[in-house]
Amino acid sequence: MLLFFVKSYNIFCLSKNIIFIIIIMSVLSMEGSMNKMRHGLRKEEESRISQRRQNILYLIYDYLNENNYTDTCETLISEAELVSEIQVCDNIDLERIIMEFESYYHMKFNKYPMFCKKNATNIDKKKSKTKVTIPASKQSQSELVKENSIQQEINNEINNINLAMTVKPIFSNQNTVKVSSEEFDIPKEKFMQSKIWKCIEKLYSPNSELRKIAIDISHEIVLENLNVHWDDVVGLDDCKTAIKEAIVYPLKYPIFFAGPFSPWKGILLYGPPGTGKTMLVKAVATECKCTFFNITASSLVSKWRGDSEKYIRVLFDLAYSHSPTIIFIDEIDWIATNVQNNLSEPAKRFRSELLTKLDGLVSTDNLNVLLLAATNSPWNIDSALLRRLEKRIYVSLPNETTRLGIFKLYLSDNLLKNKNVVDFLMSYTKQYSGADIKLLCKQAWMLEVTPMWKNLEKKEIFITDLKYELRNIEILKELLKETVPTVTNTDIYDNWDTNINNK
């Protein structure tokens, strides 16, 4: 029995030793596999580093070659042993890499990176390298011109630094000779397009992303004559006077708006839909004779992070360069609602950048750049943007005189001479906007001319025999019974106007 226990114990000890050896061998094998894996990862990292350094050399060569530094390119090829079979891909270049890094750095730290600085260290003459001066005769004239232009751009950027935002002057100051498109019989649209293109060329380098953005934004500049004058806007005399005081007179008589009495930088047109806000804006674009940007959400908001901020930055760069400028944003409440959860991420970034540009810390004085905004829901605009829209103009529903003036555009003189007809129309259209009255008259006209189609087809009557005016009041009466005005409750606008003006 004792012998049996001794044998069992020996077998147990032997099994334990075997298991221990197996565990040690497994650990050693696992450690060897980990070392092999780490060695492989280290090799891959060294290969990536080597490839990265090689890519840098090819990017530098591509940049030098693109800018015609021929001798430097040959020296780089010989010293770095670059192979002619390898070339930089089409979608990448050194300038784009630096630009993307600037954008990332600015978005993360709210300032731009500084790549170079002046070396102020006193270097011992014995340790300093001898500076080789290239004779002027060996420098080509194009290189000298290029160096002078680069130095001039650097000086301009130093003189125009404004919180990390560089605004380059495009059109010269008082001593510049102004060229008119009329002197050369050039159409105004083509002249403006040429002027815009030259501005973009001076602002941004070729093939840069900001230049492409500038080209896209330049399409939002209203070049054609909208041909809407103050007299074309029926009624709204108080609104027209307020807009002239806020926009036209500061541009026409700047001496009255100097020093502490600077003109308004932001103006808000608000009121019910269809009251004439867009017509007023068209009149401003026609009468002010200045650069007019018509901005929409699709033209500036992008789903890609950082793009919306670039679009705003380029927009204001172009606005400063083409001043005096009016930037018009319709339905501005889509980017600055009081309910922040309703805003998309691109709209939030757009709003943040816009507020920064409108802020007094960043915006440059006396550059005649004005933000003109319009909305049907002013109470949805958050207080941050509302504070920057200093002048607020209430475009209310048309009064009786204005409504009668609109009806005069459509009704025949016989109907307008009838006092009962006029009183009926005025009483039934108290809550109607200008757009509602226009739509009402168009519907009445279609009903009135419908019986004439057959006569026109049979050539029993001719188009020249028709008078384009409404003559049948019964059609208008029937339509007024069926039609409901767009805005049924204007108290919310009146209350908001009262509250905001009492603040």
Q: SS3 for 243-296, per residue?
A: HHHHHHHHHHCHHHHCCCCCCCCEEEEECCCCCCHHHHHHHHHHHCCCEEEEEC
C-alpha to C-alpha distance for 289 and 283, rounded to whole angstroms: 10
Q: What is the CATH number of domain 209-394?
A: 3.40.50.300
Q: Which of 268, 212, 237 is nearest to 398 (CA)?
A: 237
Partners of residue 166 on adjacent β-strands = 161
CA separation (Å) from 46 to 81, 305, 482? 19, 32, 80
**pLDDT attached to residue 189:** 55
User: Is residue 177 classed as helix, strand or coil in its secondary structure?
Assistant: coil
Q: Which string of DSSP letters, residue by residue, matches 220-233?
A: TB--S-----GGGS
Euclidean distance between the first and final Cα of the chain, in Å? 106
Are 435 and 492 a contacting pair, CB within 8 Å?
no
- What's the pLDDT score for residue 412? 86
Cα angle vertex 203, ends 119, 139, to 5°? Answer: 55
Q: What is the mean pLDDT of each run of 10 residues along the chain (503 residues)?
A: 66 76 80 78 83 86 85 86 81 80 73 75 48 44 50 47 36 39 46 70 78 80 82 87 87 79 85 88 85 78 69 83 84 68 67 75 60 88 83 89 89 87 87 88 87 78 75 86 82 82 61
Q: How far apart are CA 362 and CA 354, in angstroms?
A: 11
User: Residue 411 carries which DSSP code?
Assistant: B
The pLDDT score that the predictor gives to residue 135 is: 46
The pLDDT of residue 427 is 87
The Cα-based distances of 175 to 106, 270, 290, 440 in angstroms read: 36, 41, 20, 56
- Reference 326, options 242, 243, 256, 227; nearest CA is 243
Q: Could you say which DSSP state residue 88 is in? A: -
Q: Supply the pLDDT for residue 154.
A: 45
C-alpha dihedral (334, 340, 342, 347), degrees to nearest 10:
50
Residue with tokens 């028709």: 466
